[in-house]
Amino acid sequence: MVSKNTIKRITSLSQKKYRNREGLFVAEGTKVIKELLNSSLELVMLYTVDDSAFAKALQHHSFEKLKQVSSLELKKITFLKTAQNAVAVFKIPEQKKIDRSGVTLVLDEVRDPGNLGTIIRLCDWFGISQLVCSIGTVDCYNPKVVQATMGSLTRVAVVYTDIEAYLLKEKRIVYGTFMDGENIYSSSLPNEAVIIMGNEANGISKEVESYVSERIAIPRFGKFQATESLNVATAAAITLSEFKR
Amino acid sequence: MVSKNTIKRITSLSQKKYRNREGLFVAEGTKVIKELLNSSLELVMLYTVDDSAFAKALQHHSFEKLKQVSSLELKKITFLKTAQNAVAVFKIPEQKKIDRSGVTLVLDEVRDPGNLGTIIRLCDWFGISQLVCSIGTVDCYNPKVVQATMGSLTRVAVVYTDIEAYLLKEKRIVYGTFMDGENIYSSSLPNEAVIIMGNEANGISKEVESYVSERIAIPRFGKFQATESLNVATAAAITLSEFKR
């Protein structure tokens, strides 16, 4: 049985305020949970309708942390429209120290959980170990972000900080994507760099723009001038691909 | 006043079955609707709380097609959690003829509306005028796709067809992305080609794979072998960028 109070506490974790207060976040589905169990994250409790699915993954965790529940109970604690077969609560780990080597991606107020999740996966794919986010960027422990990252969250250090203060101390070249920037396909791109991606609607803010030393652009090939700018996650995909290729 | 019957008919358009039966689809929000009004699409009716916002865009449309409604009425017909200031119903245009020139992107059972929307925007950006989708690919008139395309839907011809029959008649080189493919960064990529992107969970199906003549891969730079494959929309972004750069 899952008590009313537990249900209330778990469901409250959909909100950042309660995640921070409790220091906990939620992951759902066998695949994502298994990846998180395989990392250094600390499991608080795993609720599942099928404990056999986790037998191996739970080897290094106390068996008291697994709770077999009914589908009805799982429905009460899921954040998804259609519940997966498991919901797990993990401790939010301490934020990693800032590392100023290699390529670092900086997000200036990215708001959409799906975009952040995709960008974390991209960092993982391209071997970018640190993602620096402005304080107003969507929380990486937002349940939608956790679902979208598919485990990459455990391999990319996401750091929330005042990005102006961060950029002020930066010695690497700082790149930003702008419509009027230099063609990224013909720019020479270094192995050590900071790349800033901006907000979905407004791009890079004026304050942050002043720290950009190299303005780059992904050229548009379509003949229609009306074409909207690229989505921030696809722009990040192309930009990281160009830096790493 | 919007009648109960009208509310019922509009909200039914969230389902493909009713979109096809009525030959209609819905778009929401000033920005998207304005872009669609500026295209060859036929407007059926525009419901808005702020008709002044559409004064210019509606110039070439009959004024009888605009209906001023209350916020409460708009709430009843919106598909979004938070209603924008307008909902418009358009006729679904006739499917364009298949055009076998330049670069064509083919989608094999892409299911997520956000992914399809992003891919349509990418095609628009990279000047790819035709997107060929398998019958099981999510409908491009799904409200979530319409919102995600931001008007690109009017500039990219999306064609639904039996892609095996389509590929059987194809004379251009057919590329497919696979984990074990040739490094896309060192492949020579032609100006005339067909590129297949697969389903989110299963990739390109066995049946469709047999039509692929060139297997390409986006190399993984991360040191973690556990890293999930890239999301189909970000993989499409990098692949199209490589073909067009």
> Model confidence over A17-47: pLDDT tens digits?
999 999 999 999 898 999 999 888 999 999 9
Q: Give the minimum alpha-carbon distance from B3 to chain A in angstroms, rounded to a whole number.
A: 30
Written out in words, the top-level CATH class of the domain with range B4-91 is alpha beta
B225, amino acid identity: Q
Number of Cβ within a 10 Å radius of residue A92 = 17
Place B90 in a pLDDT band, splitting at 50, 70 and 90. very high
Verify whether the Cβ–Cβ distance B155 to A221 is below 8 Å: no
d(CA A14, CA A26): 8
ipTM, two decimals, is 0.88
The answer to whether the CB of B124 falls within 8 A of the CB of B152 is yes
- pLDDT of B117-157, one tens digit each? 999 999 999 999 999 999 999 999 999 999 989 889 999 99
Query: Which pLDDT score, from 0 to 100, does residue B227 have?
Result: 66
Q: Which residue of A lies nearest to B148 if distances are taken between CA atoms?
A: A231
Q: Where are the beta strands (DSSP E) in chain A?
A: 24-28, 43-48, 66-68, 86-91, 103-107, 130-133, 157-160, 173-183, 193-197, 214-217
Tokens, residue B223: 């040191």
d(CA A90, CA B225): 23
d(CA A152, CA A35): 9
Question: Tokens 């931001």 sit at which residue?
Answer: B150
Low-confidence ranges of chain A (pLDDT < 70): 224-227
Q: Determine which of A234, A239, A242, A243 to mutate to test the interface with B (most B C-beta atoms within 10 Å).
A: A234
d(CA A86, CA A71): 9
Closest by Cα among A207, A244, A158 to B238: A244
Q: Sign (positive/negative) of CA torsion B181, B185, B188, B190?
A: positive
The answer to whether the CB of B79 falls within 8 A of the CB of B26 is yes
The answer to whether the CB of B56 falls within 8 A of the CB of B37 is no
* Domain B103-244 in CATH 3.40.1280.10: yes
CA A110-A173-B236 angle, 5° bins? 50
d(CA B112, CA A171): 41
Place B108 in a pLDDT band, splitting at 50, 70 and 90. very high
A139, amino acid identity: D
d(CA B195, CA B159): 15
Domain ranges of chain B: 4-91, 103-244
Name the interface residues of A facing B (CB cutoff 8 Å).
35, 38, 114, 118, 121-122, 124-128, 150-152, 155, 185, 218, 220-224, 226-228, 230-231, 233-235, 237-238, 241-242, 244-245
Tokens, residue A55: 């037998």
Q: Which residue of A lies nearest to B220 if distances are taken between CA atoms?
A: A125
The answer to whether residue B62 scores a pLDDT higher than 90 is: no
d(CA A92, CA A75): 23
Verify whether the Cβ–Cβ distance A125 to B150 is below 8 Å: no
User: What's phi and psi for A191, nearest 5 deg?
Assistant: -80, -15
- pLDDT of A170-191, one tens digit each? 999 999 999 899 999 999 999 9
The answer to whether the CB of A154 falls within 8 A of the CB of A35 is yes
Verify whether the Cβ–Cβ distance A223 to B185 is below 8 Å: no
Q: Which residue of B lies nearest to A31 if distances are taken between CA atoms?
A: B228
Query: Which pLDDT score, from 0 to 100, does residue A76 have?
Result: 93
d(CA B171, CA B213): 11
Query: Which pLDDT score, from 0 to 100, does residue A60 have?
Result: 75
Query: Which pLDDT score, from 0 to 100, does residue A213 have?
Result: 96
Query: Which pLDDT score, from 0 to 100, does residue A143 have?
Result: 94
Across B24-31, average pLDDT: 94
* Closest partner CB to B125 (pick from A38, A126, A227): A227
Number of Cβ within a 10 Å radius of residue B30 = 16
Tokens, residue B173: 């080189």
The answer to whether residue B236 scores a pLDDT higher than 90 is: yes
Closest by Cα among A181, A186, A179 to A225: A179
